[in-house]
Amino acid sequence: MDRDRILLTPGPLTTTLRTKLAMLKDWGSWDADFNAVTAQVRERLLDIVNGRDTHVVVPLQGSGTFSVEAAVATLVPRDGHVLVLDNGAYCKRAAKLTQMMGRKATVMAFPEDAPVSPEALEDRLKADASITHVVLIHCETGTGVENPLAAVAALCDRHGKGLIVDAMSSFAALPIDAAKLKFDALIAASGKCLEGVPGMGFVFIRKAVLDRCAGNSQSLAMDLHDQHVYMGKTGQWRFTPPTHVVVALAEAMQQFVEEGGQPARLARYTQNYRTLVDGMAALGFKPFLRPEIQAPIIVTFHAPAHPAYDFKRFYDSAKAKGFMLYPGKLTQVETFRVGCIGAIGPLEMQQAVNAVAATLREMGIPNGNPAH
């Protein structure tokens, strides 16, 4: 095969050659040139959410989950009470890490095939005044469902609750405007819709709550307030930064601007989504979610009902043809997932559908029709 396999996953993603080439140079972590790259990345991140007036952005080493954990520990006081809106696997992870940070966490469960309900949230906030913060996953990557960020943000604002948004899979693709939406923290990462490489998360923190965050975190490495203060004084990261990841992200963000920013990226991902869903439907596959609640980020499909279907064989065959799929995250029904994001377009998506069709033929499966 004369090209890298295409990653149809929620991250890491397929990256451009320009982004890969940016990682071929070594950088000194305290050097002024590298500090300038860090500063540029932070400014451009704030521009994407229109947040220069209202928020700061604090980068952190590690995967996106590192930054979710850091945000909860930094934003929520030790005696805080976090309500986690749960309609999927990543919501459950947010609840688990909140409890492990020693914060009180209440989980409000919703069906996995539906968005969280703002009406139910309002009832809960009225019933329990002890809740200080709400955690929302914007795009629940376990299924691909888009949750109602604007409605939840308005409710939290009205009831005086801090909102922490995990926007890992949505940031830079779905519109998020800090001037119109009030959130205390919003978390994303380098290896998602910005099409950088994994290894760095970042958290937008509202300036109005920043001072209250001092001393909340019980972790040295993951104290975002301390990281912010140190960066403000020195321009440097407190501890060894992921230098190659940062410069790759700077290059990926330059391409993001050249493409036309968030609206253009959403348009391309939406084309990818349509190509995928239409092509898979022609093979008999059925998405898990109704189209009106599906974000064009990652699509969960029901597994074929045919007795010859086995995910590992299905995965290995598609991989041999140049496409890496993703296992399902649901416990009740067998599924698999296909990402629509990364440095790919409708042509690669159609090729992926063709690879799935060839895989079905190899496995002796006439179509992708699900059990139900």
CA 325/CA 357 separation, integer angstroms: 14
**Tens digits of residue pLDDT in 263-285:** 999 999 999 999 999 999 999 99
Cβ atoms within 10 Å of 159's Cβ, excluding its own? 15
CATH label of the domain that carries residue 160: 3.40.640.10
What is the β-pairing status of strands 81-86 and 133-137? parallel
Same domain, 286 and 218: no
Percent of the chain past pLDDT 70, that is, above it, reads 99
Q: 191-228 burial by CB neighbour count: b if 16+ within 10 A, else e? A: bbbbbbbbbbbbbbbbeeebeebeebbeeeebbbbbbb
At which of 236, 258, 280 does a domain end? 258
**Tens digits of residue pLDDT in 163-196:** 999 999 999 999 999 999 999 999 999 999 999 9
Would 95 be classed as within a structural domain?
yes
Same domain, 158 and 242: yes
Same domain, 243 and 308: no
Same domain, 309 and 217: no
Mean pLDDT over each residue of the chain, to the nearest integer: 97
pLDDT confidence tier of residue 329, bands split at 50, 70 and 90 = confident
pLDDT confidence tier of residue 341, bands split at 50, 70 and 90 = very high
Mean pLDDT computed over 335-355: 98
Mean pLDDT computed over 221-242: 98
- This prediction's pTM: 0.97
pLDDT score for 325: 97
Number of domains in the chain: 2
- pLDDT at residue 2 is higher than 70: no
Q: Please state whether the peptide bond connecting residue 12 to the residue before it is cis, i.e. omega within 30 degrees of 0.
A: yes
- pLDDT at residue 334 is higher than 80: yes
**Tens digits of residue pLDDT in 10-35:** 989 999 999 999 999 999 999 999 99
Do 194 and 249 touch, CB atoms closer than 8 A?
Answer: yes
Residues 6+ apart with CB under 8 A from 331: none
CATH label of the domain that carries residue 275: 3.90.1150.10
pLDDT confidence tier of residue 371, bands split at 50, 70 and 90 = confident
Number of helices (H) and strands (E), helices first, in the chain?
A: 12, 14
Same domain, 227 and 186: yes
- pLDDT at residue 226 is higher than 50: yes
Cα separation values, 343 from 23, 145, 157, Å: 17, 22, 36
At which of 258, 279, 309 does a domain end? 258
SS3 298: strand
Would 370 be classed as within a structural domain?
no
Same domain, 200 and 124: yes
Would 372 be classed as within a structural domain?
no
Would 357 be classed as within a structural domain?
yes
Same domain, 34 and 145: yes
pLDDT score for 1: 47
Same domain, 116 and 187: yes
Would 371 be classed as within a structural domain?
no
Domain carrying residue 285: 6-10+262-363
**Tens digits of residue pLDDT in 189-225:** 999 999 999 999 999 999 999 999 999 999 999 999 9
What does DSSP assign to residue 26? -
pLDDT score for 260: 98
Same domain, 317 and 172: no
At which of 230, 258, 286 does a domain end? 258
Same domain, 162 and 274: no
Same domain, 236 and 301: no
Same domain, 270 and 179: no
